[in-house]
């Protein structure tokens, strides 16, 4: 049983996080968020000026939590090759925990249009941070190797979501090990 959070702002964010990630942004109505969070409509607009503002808060929180999880996994290893292998293990772990729902950022990206510039910027920043994180682990490698590992990592996320299976992560992990 989930512990009930008393802070309405946090309840709204937690509820939106669950709904946006599992249902999608456009499929989630603001009335559903308000009802499931158990807050008054006025509370929503006191803390978030719009549904898009709530989406941006979700993406920022997801970024913070996701990168912290990735760091926890990679911090268990000492050498760059082992850290990269641990990063792929993080993907496998996420797939299991989140039932192969995939990347929250790419899922939201599929719902954006040219008018969603701020949302697109947050998504791009997340991917830039991920690329930099992996690149920092591989600081002694050539840029092409860093790029290939990043692209393997990203494709493993997408393909494992598509097939609802760990094999893309396992194969990308092997390929990354071969590059290193």
What is the mean predicted confidence (pLDDT) over 57-79?
98
Residue 62 has pLDDT above 80, yes or no: yes
What is the mean predicted confidence (pLDDT) over 102-117?
95
Domains of the chain: 1-49 (1.10.10.60), 51-179 (1.10.357)
The interaxial angle of helices 117-137 and 51-74, nearest 10 deg, is 10
In this structure, the number of other CB atoms found within 10 A of the CB of residue 40 comes to 11
CA distance 163 to 100: 9
Average pLDDT, the chain: 95
User: Residue 6: what pLDDT?
Assistant: 77
Name the band, by pLDDT with cuts 50, 70 and 90, for residue 1.
Answer: very low
Residue 100 has pLDDT above 70, yes or no: yes
Residue 4 has pLDDT above 70, yes or no: no
Q: Given phi > 0 = left and psi -120 to 50 = alpha, else beta, which region is 50?
A: beta
Residue 142 has pLDDT above 60, yes or no: yes
What is the mean predicted confidence (pLDDT) over 154-166?
98
- C-alpha dist (Å) from residue 131 to 27, 74, 88, 90, 174: 30, 14, 14, 15, 19
Q: Which of 103, 67, 90 is nearest to 173 (CA)?
A: 90
pTM value surpassing 0.85: yes
């Amino acid at each position: 049983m989930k512990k009930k959070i008393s802070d309405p702002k946090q309840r709204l964010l937690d509820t939106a996080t669950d709904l946006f990630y599992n249902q999608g942004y456009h499929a989630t109505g603001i009335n559903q968020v308000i009802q499931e969070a158990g807050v008054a409509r006025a509370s929503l607009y006191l803390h978030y000026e719009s549904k898009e503002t709530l989406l941006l808060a979700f993406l920022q929180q997801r970024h913070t939590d996701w990168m912290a999880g990735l760091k926890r996994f990679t911090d268990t290893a000492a050498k760059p090759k082992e850290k990269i292998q641990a990063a792929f293990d993080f993907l496998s772990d996420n797939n299991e925990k989140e039932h192969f729902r995939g990347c929250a950022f790419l899922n939201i990206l599929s719902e954006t249009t040219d008018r969603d510039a701020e949302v697109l910027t947050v998504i791009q920043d997340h991917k830039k941070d991920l690329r930099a994180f992996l690149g920092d682990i591989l600081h002694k490698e050539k840029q092409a190797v860093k790029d290939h590992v990043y692209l393997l990592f990203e494709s493993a996320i997408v393909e494992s979501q598509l097939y609802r299976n760990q094999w893309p992560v396992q194969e990308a992990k092997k390929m990354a090990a071969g590059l290193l």
